[in-house]
Amino acid sequence: MAGKTPVRWGILGAAKFAREHMAPAIHAARGATLVGLATSGAEKAAPFQAFAPGLKFFESYEALLASPEIDAVYIPLPNHLHVEWTLKALDAGKAVLTEKPIAMEEAEFDTLIAARDRTGLLAAEAYMIVHHPQWKKARALVAEGAIGALRHVRGAFCYNNADEPENIRNRPETGGGALRDIGVYTFGSTRFVSGKEPVKGGMRANISFENEVDTLSLVTAEFPGFTLETMVSMRLNPYQEMAFFGDRGTLRLTAPFNPADLAKRQ
């Protein structure tokens, strides 16, 4: 990045994931500098300023978006706020990286795409699978026939946050639920590795709810040439695995999504 001006980043909200993972990553990245954080109180900005001295505190999201010091915005807000603030960031002239799911309804994606095209700015969902070397290798192995013809995929991703009733994942009004939080990993990795999409009408689900959010979802789906069986839960001991079964071999990923977190929890 020598000779290029670093992208100046701002963050909307002092989310735990932003504090522990994304903000330090932005701060450490080549070609990027973490400039600002918008949150409800200066005390919430202090942990960010501990590793990013000089980080500017903004008292409102609007103030950060209006700042000429910010080029791009990372949005780790609760799910139900993703579309609203992605659109506001684009309209403010900022490129946007928004946590998954970037939207909760199909039509909202069309709205975001139209705003991206209208502004000419990048709007992206924070979704690591398509960029991760492990998953790129898995995709290449399946594509080159290392396991023969893909016939079945089995996936599981779970954790237990039953003791956190105020967690946004446990609240319907903030777009909670296991499928919205982690279903994208088991389904998305299957789509990425296989390069195929589910067959219309070929999906079945058995879902358990608490407080109007899904806490255990068992889903089967048909893809062209193979089937998928997946489980995601917010009420089980931490576990994650993806397995791709072919007629000449099996590809098994035992730490497919967040291995550091998995090791810490087990």
**How far apart, in whole angstroms, are the C-alpha atoms of residue 123 and residue 121?**
6
Of the candidates 132, 126, 154, 159, the residue with the CA atom closest to the CA atom of residue 261: 159
Which residues are tagged catalytic? 100
For 83-212, where are the E strands, in sequence order?
95-99, 123-126, 150-160, 203-210
Burial of 54 (0-12, 13-18, 19+ CB in 10 A): exposed
Task: Pull the structure tokens for residue 154.
Answer: 């089995």
Give the C-alpha distances (Å, rounded to integers) separating 149 from 141, 190, 225, 229, 249. Answer: 11, 14, 8, 17, 9
Task: Pull the structure tokens for residue 23.
Answer: 């903000």
- Beta-ladder partners of 107: none
Give the C-alpha distances (Å, rounded to integers) separating 108 from 41, 60, 105, 113, 186. Answer: 31, 25, 5, 9, 22
**How far apart, in whole angstroms, are the C-alpha atoms of residue 217 and residue 169?**
14
Tell me which H or E stretch contains 65.
helix 61-66
Side-chain half-sphere CA neighbours of 49 within 13 A? 14
* Residue 214 near residue 141, CB atoms below 8 Å: no
